[in-house]
Amino acid sequence: MTTTRLQKVLLEPYYVLIIFLTIMSNEIIPLFSSPVYKTKVDVSSISEFFLKTIEYEPYPDQTGYTSKDVHILMSQPFAELKKIIDHHMNMYCFELLKLANCRIRHTQSWVNLHKPGNYSPKHYHSNSCFSGGVYFKVPEKSGGLIFCASHTAPTYTTGTIKPLTTEGNLFNADRWGFEVEEGDLILWPSHLMHQTDFNESKEDRMMVAFNYFIDGKIGDNTRQLKIRVTEK
């Protein structure tokens, strides 16, 4: 993988810390990570006017709106964008994670519409292997994306022990936020808990969220499972 591709996956503070530790003749190894992939894509083919013509319904908890079409990336207006997402999902799964003997298939995708005052509560994506989002309209103060560590899966400490720290970094944080912009594409493992801030702007925030699943062979010998995923 080239340096350019790595920069899409790993965050700058991590590089700074690695450089510092290398200079100090130390080494730190980020074991058992949940890698988040972030890059920029062209979304100019999808206009705000078109997004507003899509049929929406409110989420049950009244925190925002979702498109009634839950395979939105399979529709013709999103065809080129889906190809771009597929490309980056393949880079994430096969160049970074080195998955073998399988493919990655789109299973669901939908538009999230957050009006002023709306937000997305903490959640993960069920019945999915890898998830992501691409942002179309992101007014200033409309809310960032926040990832949250699971308190049932210990990292450097357990979820029941909370030492004070002098500052937060990728190795001690249990929350990590991103300011998002138009054209941002972010991928992550579906089990990774996440949420969005309140939309404090006076305009709508619009993005497409999506899920992908492994298609093919998982594991080997007595652990092997064959899965067939069909896209709509």
All structural domains of the chain, each given as residue ranges with its CATH number in brackets, are 33-227 (2.60.120.620)
Residue 204: CB atoms within 10 A of its CB come to 21
Cβ atoms of 195 and 152 closer than 8 Å? no
Inter-residue contact 30 to 171 (CB < 8 Å):
yes
Q: Are 118 and 198 in contact (CB under 8 A)?
A: yes
Which of 112, 108, 109, 107 is CA-nearest to residue 58? 112
pTM exceeding 0.85: yes
User: Over its length of 232 residues, how does the chain's per-residue pLDDT go in tens digits?
Assistant: 444 444 444 455 555 555 555 556 678 888 888 999 999 999 999 998 999 999 999 999 999 999 999 999 999 999 999 999 999 999 999 999 999 999 999 999 999 999 999 999 999 999 999 999 999 999 999 999 999 998 888 888 888 888 999 999 888 999 999 899 999 999 999 999 999 999 999 999 999 999 999 999 988 899 999 999 987 6
